[in-house]
Structure 1
Amino acid sequence: MPRPPMDLSGLLPEYTALARETTLLNPAPGDPGPGDSSMGGPLLWPAAEPWPHCAREGHWTYADDGRSLEEITPGRTPMVPVLQLYARDVPQPAFPTGTDVLQLVWCALHHDDNEDGPMIPQLHWRNEAEVIAAGTLTDIPRATDFTHPEDLMPTPSTLTPTPDIDYPGFDLPYDLQQTWEKRLHGVNGLGTWSFEDGCAIATKAGGYPAWTQPPNWPTCVCARRMEHLLTITGDIQLGDCGGFYVFLCRHCPDTPYAYRYDCH
């Protein structure tokens, strides 16, 4: 992630005060196991909990010819593993009390009637020791009955979590950005760095959303703006799907979550 070529704390203390801790996940194609933090890898799933399937009407994929569309019978398709994070590997953000595993799955089909994006996700928080003690699911259905959109099928990847500092990109108000740019005008050593460079456009946990379109933060039913939890970017792991963002509310007891999507 591009960094300011000089310390801005003295010049713009208001900007540096906006810093948030993030963990860059750095996925790379590999062979992860259920005991690993991974993207697109096998999950540590409780044996007593059925694997989720998507029962939405009207979801579709491309037919075998790769051009025409094929509508999928509701309930036919299992969801696919997208991300698994162990708290031991990811220092930020904090996990809810009593949990140390975060899991994200979604339906890897298109859903035109879903205003928040083409995919339908589910987020799960688990306790590793409790899942292992009760037994894990070994016969996990695979979504291979038809041609899934490649952009929504994560490549199995290992992660190299790296702590970093994130700043707002598109979340920085334009008028404030202009004001600060005037204060930095003529300062030697800044080069071509801009405020948008302060936000890591990467698959990450915590920090700020790596929006590629105007920000669209969800608001919880408790009327608070939700906290950014995950950004998953379109890259070698997800083709050109754009950006997928997961948010949560820590103020509500059931830790509700929401998601957003924007395209490149």
Structure 2
Amino acid sequence: MVPVIQLFARDAPWVEFPPGKDLAQLVWCPLEHDEEPGGSVVPRLYWRDEAETGARGTLSDAPVPREGEYGEDLVPRPCTVSPTPAVEYPGYDLPDELLTTLLPRLEQLQDRFGLWYTEVASALQNKAGGYPAWTQSPDWPHCGAGHRMEHLFSVTSEVAYGRWLPLDEHEPGTTQPQWQAPAAEDIVDTIGPELMLGDMGGVYIFLCRRCPDLPYAHRFDCH
């Protein structure tokens, strides 16, 4: 298993952590598993207490599988996060009736900015919370009790897309809206986990808060 996300509750106050927990850690096996949809990775999610975890000591280096055992594109490059709140909306999950009602306004948006609604509604980016930015048909998982799970994390190949980057990582002097002004290549090449999940895809982590044991699931989604 290799580390993918380590998120502290203080850095993402919009994410609800379980009582007594203030640290979320996501790891996965960096092999392509044929039994998984699209041959995706297999993630594991852990909720921890920061103080207890720190008291046990920390590793000086992140674990890396032995060479030849894994796909290098599935091992994240060590990096830090810049938590930036953003307002999102459902993309392909938008109900048909509402889509029909909004269609004239969405066409105006496309005529003015050259972008269709689903391109800007939700961030196809590494994120906590919000909506999954499906590139294929929505595939929400349900827990064993039949509850539809909520989106918790997205880990994607799309950080280079640039439109949803934090302000401090944009090209100096950028005045256009973030979603209209992709960052310069010399910026995006140096940030993020540098993953390649399938064809520029992503792994979405879902959680059921209605069940006391907080079951989770994942979906692989790519172009």
If the length of structure 1 is used for normalisation, what is the TM-score? Answer: 0.63
- CA distance in 2: counterparts of 1:256 and 1:169, whole angstroms: 25
- Deviation, structure 1 residue 171: 1.0
SS in 2 for 1:104: strand
Provide the residue aligned with 2:85 in structure 1: 163
Q: Percent identity?
A: 49
Provide the residue aligned with 1:245 in structure 2: 204
Larger radius of gyration: 1
SS in 1 for 2:85: strand
Q: Provide the aligned length of Structure 1 versus Structure 2.
A: 185
- Deviation, structure 1 residue 210: 1.3
Report 1:72-151 matches (<5 A): 79-115=1-37, 117-133=39-55, 135-136=56-57, 138=59, 141-151=63-73
Gap runs ≥5 in structure 1: 1-78
Q: Deviations over 1:167-196 (max 9, x none)?
A: 011111345313311366669x95434321
Provide the residue aligned with 1:208 in structure 2: 131
Residue from 228, 231, 238 that aligns with 2:151: 228
- Deviation, structure 1 residue 144: 2.2
- Deviation, structure 1 residue 90: 1.2
- CA distance in 2: counterparts of 1:150 and 1:131, whole angstroms: 28
- Deviation, structure 1 residue 223: 1.5
Q: Deviations over 1:84-135 (max 9, x none)?
A: 10111112211111111110111101111223752111000000012223x1
The residue type paired with residue 194 of structure 2 is Q
SS in 1 for 2:87: strand
Q: Which 4+ stretches in 1 moved above 4 angstroms? A: 183-187
Question: More strand per residue: 1 or 2?
Answer: 1
- CA RMSD in angstroms comes to 2.4
1:194 and 2:151 aligned:
no
Gap runs ≥5 in structure 2: 159-192
Question: More helix per residue: 1 or 2?
Answer: 2
- CA distance in 2: counterparts of 1:144 and 1:85, whole angstroms: 26
- CA distance in 1: counterparts of 2:203 and 2:143, whole angstroms: 18
Q: Deviations over 1:54-81 (max 9, x none)?
A: xxxxxxxxxxxxxxxxxxxxxxxxx111
SS in 2 for 1:219: coil
The residue type paired with residue 142 of structure 2 is T
Q: Which fold has the larger relative contact order, with Cα–Cα distance below 8 Å and residues 6 or more apart in sequence?
A: 1
SS in 1 for 2:211: coil
Q: Deviations over 1:207-248 (max 9, x none)?
A: 000111110000112221101001111146202431110000
Report 1:36-75 matches (<5 A): none
